[in-house]
Amino acid sequence: MSTSLENILSLPVEGRIQPLAEYARDLAAKRSGTNGVDHAALRGTVEALIALIEDGSGSGRERLELGEVLGLLDDPRLRSPSDPDYWATVTLDDGHQIEVGRFMVTTAEFRAFLASGFDDDSNWSAEGLAWRNRGEASWAELAADPNISQLVVANQPVVGVTWYEAEAFTNANGVRMLTQSERRWVVRGAEKRPYPWGAPFGAGNTNTREEALGRPAAVGLFRRDRTPEGIFDLAGNVGEWTSDRNGDQRIFHPGSWAQPSMASWAKAIEFASAETRSADLGFRIARGA
């Protein structure tokens, strides 16, 4: 690498985004090779990427790249459900408190479940087990397709999961999905916000079709798409399964990178079969109450 991290960080903020992303990609390639990597440079690069993400620098597409390269370098913001800071506490309208995942379940978390809990029958409902045992293409098989690599970055919300897989993940971790009404309250709060940040919808606040990114982004990349409690990606980025049913179908919130802003408001819902896989649908976990 001919450009040093120190030189990049000496540039004005708006001028360092692309050089830093390229530098980070080079580091990721070095780390995956046989020559190893300078660990001080790695730490400094990760810190610089997070600083740019957290201060909201760059266009949507530039930020998308920052999030992706951070995922390649092992995003230190990510936690597991066993970590206390995985959770944010929300007081519901009836006074009960629940804990909600600050981020949606990530690809990294779901891969860990595939390795440790997917084959454990006790994590599955009878309905889910019957679906799993039909022998259809698994999430892992589908995710191995190089043509969809941009959908399965470690620090992005996991997508393409069926409701049954999401349910098995929650059982393996002793948690659950939010109900539709809980999720709506998390977004709206006592102030009755239409979006996590309030109103109006505005530009650049969340990853919807209007942003024209054409794919999921790293969790927490859109800094305004969060509640006062610090729960991210509730309006856009990836749609979210809930625990609720509508007859034989399951209810989900549709706001995502593939949907227009009309799908983002707090009360939006859609229905799908529990077997549905979609490149813009994932899930979040909660516990308590």
By the 8 A CB rule, do 214 and 257 touch?
Answer: yes
Confidence label for 195 from pLDDT (cuts 50, 70 and 90) = very high
Token representation of residue 116: 């440790």
| Summary mean pLDDT of the chain | 95
Per-residue pLDDT at 34: 62
Q: Which of 54, 67, 99 is nearest to 81 (CA)?
A: 99
Least confident of 21-35, 151-165, 213-227, 256-270: 21-35
In which order are the strands placed within the sheet that holds 97-101?
Answer: 87-91, 97-101, 286-287
Confidence label for 3 from pLDDT (cuts 50, 70 and 90) = confident
CA distances for 87 relative to 81, 278, 286, angstroms: 8, 26, 8
Per-residue pLDDT at 85: 96
Per-residue pLDDT at 289: 74
Q: Evaluate if residue 237 carries a pLDDT over 90.
A: yes
Mean pLDDT of 111-117: 97
Per-residue pLDDT at 1: 44
Confidence label for 92 from pLDDT (cuts 50, 70 and 90) = very high
Task: Please name each of the domains of the chain with its CATH number.
Answer: 5-72 (no CATH), 84-287 (3.90.1580.10)
Which residues are within 8 A (CB) of 221 and not within 5 positions of it... i.e. 6 or more apart?
A: 53, 63, 64, 66, 67, 207, 237
Residue whose tokens read 């007859």 = 247
Mean pLDDT of 250-257: 98
Confidence label for 60 from pLDDT (cuts 50, 70 and 90) = very high
Task: Classify the phi-psi angles of 259: left when phi > 0, otherwise alpha if psi is within -120 to 50, otherwise beta.
Answer: beta
pLDDT digits (tens, 9 = 90+) for 13-48: 989 999 999 999 999 988 877 667 788 899 999 999
